[in-house]
């Protein structure tokens, strides 16, 4: 049986909805990609797009592709329909992928190993707290106002008769 603290944590994790996108086998080392993902983690989507657009690093283009994919996933999911500008990057990380090992000829019949590293880039998005509050407020508001019922004691008002000129 799970403790109350564990149950509370699992309930908190389940209520927070996230959308993610992942690019696998990107031809860049994970160390280089982490430098870029660290820049955008925790930022809003428009701010992260600006940071990536002005980054000088080549892997920023790959991270931007993953971010665009995550935004498209959030906007196109039928159960969410989130607005892309109202999202926040809750997680962005680059894990190591497989390393391709190649050889290069060196002097005196020797070889040197060339490691062509790859990485897997993951971006995870959630709604910003401001957007969550606005959605909760809209859900709490009644859908439409009902007209008050007419009571039996009130007589309906008849429109005035039109006068004809003769």
CATH of the domain at 53: 3.90.470.10
Question: Is 1 among the domain residues?
Answer: no
Question: Is 25 among the domain residues?
Answer: yes
pLDDT tens, position by position, 81-132 = 899 999 999 999 999 999 999 999 999 999 999 999 999 999 999 998 888 7
pLDDT of residue 121: 98
Question: Is 149 among the domain residues?
Answer: no
pLDDT tens, position by position, 28-67 = 999 999 999 999 999 999 999 999 999 999 999 999 999 9
Higher-confidence residue of 121 and 133: namely: 121
pLDDT of residue 160: 67
Question: Is 112 among the domain residues?
Answer: yes
Question: Is 146 among the domain residues?
Answer: no
* Distance between CA atoms of residues 143 and 71, nearest Å: 29
Tokens at 110, concatenated: 């020797």
What is the average pLDDT across 8-14? 50
**Domain count of the fold of the chain:** 1
Query: Which stretches of the chain are DSSP H helices?
Result: 4-15, 30-40, 45-53, 59-76, 129-140
Cβ burial, residue 43 (10 Å; 0-12/13-18/19+): middle
pLDDT of residue 14: 47
pLDDT of residue 140: 81
Question: Is 118 among the domain residues?
Answer: yes
What is the average pLDDT across 74-86? 91
The mean predicted confidence, pLDDT, of the chain is 87
Q: Phi and psi (nearest 5°) for 143?
A: -65, -45
pLDDT of residue 114: 97
> Which structural domain range is residue 94 located in?
17-139
Q: What's the chain's Rg over C-alpha atoms?
A: 29
Question: Is 121 among the domain residues?
Answer: yes
Question: Is 154 among the domain residues?
Answer: no
């Amino acid at each position: 049986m799970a403790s109350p603290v564990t149950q509370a944590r699992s309930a908190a994790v389940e209520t927070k909805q996230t959308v993610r996108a992942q690019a696998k086998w990107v031809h860049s080392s994970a160390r280089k990609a982490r430098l870029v993902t660290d820049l955008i983690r925790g930022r809003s989507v428009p701010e992260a797009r600006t940071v990536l657009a002005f980054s000088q690093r080549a892997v920023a283009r790959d991270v931007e592709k993953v971010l665009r994919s995550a935004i498209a996933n959030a906007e196109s999911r039928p159960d969410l329909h989130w607005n892309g500008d109202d999202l926040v990057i809750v997680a962005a990380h680059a894990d190591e992928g497989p390393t391709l090992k190649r050889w290069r000829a060196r002097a005196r019949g020797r070889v040197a190993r060339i490691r062509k590293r790859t990485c897997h880039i993951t971006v995870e998005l959630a709604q910003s707290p401001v957007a969550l509050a606005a959605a909760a407020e809209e859900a709490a508001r009644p859908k439409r106002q009902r007209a008050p019922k007419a009571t039996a004691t009130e007589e309906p008002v008849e429109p005035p008769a039109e006068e004809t000129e003769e």
